[in-house]
Structure 1
Amino acid sequence: MNSLPDPDAELLRAAQTGEVTALALLLEHHRAGMRAVALSILGPGPDADDAVQDAVLVALRRIGDVRDPDAVGAWLRMVVRNQCRGRLREARRLVPVEELAPQRDPAAGPDETLDRHAMQDWVWEAIEQLSPTLQLPLVLRHFSSQVTAYDQIARVCGVPVGTVRSRLNQARTKLADALTATAEAAHSDARTRTAASWDDARDTLATAEAGAFGSVVAQRWSPEVALMYGAARLGGSALITRAMDCDLAAGVRQRPVNVTAGRSLAVWEMDITSPPENPGHCPPSAAWVMDLDGGKVTRLRLFHPRPMAESVVEQRLATPADAL
């Protein structure tokens, strides 16, 4: 007797080709099991609901990673479990580890990474429909690799942690509607846009090391660009340029390790190498969180996921431009 086709397998194959309806049906089929895992770890309440919602967004990005159709239910429950464990770590004021971010093959380039996510284009198109206030915490939480904890996002945005939670809840609700609206519509190519942002990050750093960072800022960034620390504006293009030139003169080098890019927001995550004679000159990593308008940077938020002492960071950022 021939066995009936596995509905999960059919839905998984369709979802991996970008069919939003198939993914929605697949998630609905396993939602009860996902919620049961969250309740078993976190107990009833908003944290369990948020963990399931976070897991759904992870599934949107990583459904292409599932190779065994029989394991899709177990994979979704694992994603929920990792989200719950991350929340428990945050409650203990520890920085979440790799389970909170998509797993990346360190040998894979940006093209290979993006090719694994068939849903990337229409997810990004839906994200672009959100207001900047809701878009920023959602992108950091679900698309960055190091700026994922609520307290980190709060520091980047310059708002309390409770406000971050509220904005994420609003963003998830609006994103669900936007996904449905944009799934069948024409949309831009996220793969091409992100690859171009990788090139821009590398070219920006190479130009800076050649002593011409000011020309990059003048040509590609808005004349009114603002350097932000949380909600505070520290200065404009002069401060940005002098700070970069000062670090380069001291022997500091940056290397992009992850790039996330939409039309109105880009995040460049960097590894930082301090000079051997002064290994504590800079924190080991940084995120350039940039608001974009017409392709030009209008606002730059610098954030260190693995910072030095907070007082040192604040002192560096607060140094007057003339002193740099």
Structure 2
Amino acid sequence: MARQEDSGLGYKIVEAVRSGEIIEPITYEKIKLFCEINSIDAPESYMRVILSNGSENTHSPTYKKYFKRINRGEYEVLPEYKNERRFYWLNVDSSGYDWSFTILKLGKTQSYSNLNQIGNQRKNPKCFQEINVGDLVVAYETGDIKAITTLCRVSDKTIENDEILVEFQKISDFGNVLEWGKLRDSEQLENCNTVHFHRGTLFELEKEHYDIIVQMLEEINPSLDTEEELYQAVIHSMKDDKKDRKARLENKNSIYPDIYEVTTKAFKRNPDVIAEVLIRAKGVCEKCNKKAPFNRASDGSPYLEVHHIKRLADGGEDTVGNAMAVCPNCHRELHFG
């Protein structure tokens, strides 16, 4: 818990670094964006608790208390204010309780208590006591799924009497879940006790094992980093049998796209959705009913763009029903007209 005097913007920046909301090095631009996102009403002079280009002897007392300068306009939190991030495994009983990360939207949270429904302590009480805001968690869904379905970040923790309430924020979503059988058979995880004996609720993971699990998830869920890679995945999808695409669409665990970090947040779109929409359009814009204005030089296919009727940024679903194939002019009109 922060002391009462540790409640200003400087300490909020420290907490944001601890939680991963601000990535070091800290800059004035990052602080300004942090204030905007969190609706912190701070004037520019106040936001420059860390001065963008100030020299050491002009920094404020708050700067000297929390931060050190590592480069011109770049800063880090002092070691004594940093908490070492820890890693955990959370069992989610989606069959016994109305609690599942699979259907939860990215960025949303679920809270979990150290007390069960009749008020008794859950197993591994030490983990509930030691877990902290900013710690990272793999969510393993029990019941019929028996797989790691997402990654989470601890976004809040409250203690009242004997109850510890931990809030977990969903920070990723995967089309392909990581089944327990693959975890069990992994030679890299043969010394991970939690993988083999996870009866209970919350377990601490070694960073090495957490990193291996994340790597396994990424291997079965390759990211599409560029428009060209996405288009190649769409071409591959279009060559598949319709029933295979339909099966993948029906079995996808979430209708909402993954978010991955670039300079801003972007959505990793489903190539099967794009393929189905382009096939449905047959080279004709679904808004103006005119043929595609030109063909792609790479393969001669009609050039249409796939538009989401309800924007993904507004919580729109990445589904065939929420998408339409349009020509570039109509696409611009839909966005800016």
What TM-score, normalized by structure 1, do the two folds share?
Answer: 0.29
Higher strand share: 2
Higher helix share: 1
What TM-score, normalized by structure 2, do the two folds share?
Answer: 0.28
Greater C-alpha radius of gyration = 2
